[in-house]
Amino acid sequence: MNRNLLIVVAVVVAVIGISILGAYLISKPSDGIIAGDRVAVIRIDGVISMDSGEGVFSTETTTPEEFKSQLDRALSDGSVKAILIEINSPGGSVVASEAIAEAIKEAKEKKPVVAWLGEIATSGGYYVASACSYIVADPGTITGSIGVISVFPEYSRLLEKLGINMTVIKAGEYKDFSTGYRPLTEEERRMVEEIIYDFYELFIAEVAQNRNLSVEHVKQVAEGRIYSARRAKELGLVDEVGTRRVAIKKAAELAGIEGEPHLVSYERKALFSEIFGTGMERLGYGFAKALLERDANPALR
């Protein structure tokens, strides 16, 4: 390949790169640029946890830090009149779920917050949803599972069969109760159950307060039971059964938005992904649009 051809290739690559970056920057949503009232969409996907669990084999998680970061942007964005929380989560950490629920309760004092329940919104996922101003459950949603669980694997018999002996040195009678090297004693079981029931009572009380239901009613429908969207509405756990579009319309209605609202999302993506995903998509759209306009206008031929 001669020197002149290398220069031509380099120039073409540079032009394409600059075009893609320009298309990305031009098309990238920015606070206050898009005209009209907007609804911010914040997703809660996967396990709700205090730790993002980033890694090669990690599963999808939502953390209070990540959620609050997006929520704060929605609250500070003057064009955002309502917030839609899309939930597709089986639950997770009690502390993390409580932190997100508290953030939602503070936010709805400033702007309407509507929850849309996707495929699953159970346990901590429902805990979070109950804090919203209004809940729309998709017809195919599984929700409920109001309860608390703690699992302690115990494999002392397996170790015995394998001929493995565990020597435990501890300071504190109960320090090794959750190691799995031995069965729980009755006293240890009671200790754990007391904590679990404390969390359970907190869960019940929060749902009752958030949904304006009696504690007795919530206890009757709790016990870890799961429900369809239709049944959840009958029990007062959700306000409406509908699609995501219904939830968006409700958010706009609560905010007094007339017409079709613009949607904005604050999800963070890697720059490479955004440039070569969104940028290429917008660039391709721009080229196609230019060609159509050229065909429609003889003066441009």
Task: Check residue 58 and give left, alpha or beta (phi > 0: left; psi -120 to 50: alpha).
Answer: beta
The single residue of 110, 175, 269, 289 carrying the catalytic annotation is 175
The answer to whether the predicted template modeling score (pTM) of the entire model surpasses 0.85 is: no
Express each pLDDT in 105-128 by its tens digit.
Answer: 999 999 999 999 999 999 999 999
Alpha carbon 3 to its chain centroid, in Å, reads 53
Mean confidence (pLDDT) of the chain: 82
The single residue of 93, 123, 130, 145 carrying the catalytic annotation is 123
123 is catalytic: yes
pLDDT higher than threshold 70 for residue 21:
no
Alpha carbons 1 and 104: distance in angstroms, whole number: 61
130 is catalytic: no
Residue 49: Cβ within 10 Å count: 18
- Residue owning tokens 């779920």: 97
Express each pLDDT in 212-259 by its tens digit.
Answer: 999 999 999 999 999 999 999 999 999 999 999 999 999 999 999 988
Residue 6 has a pLDDT of 64
Domains of the chain: 3-148+212-300 (3.90.226.10), 149-211 (no CATH)
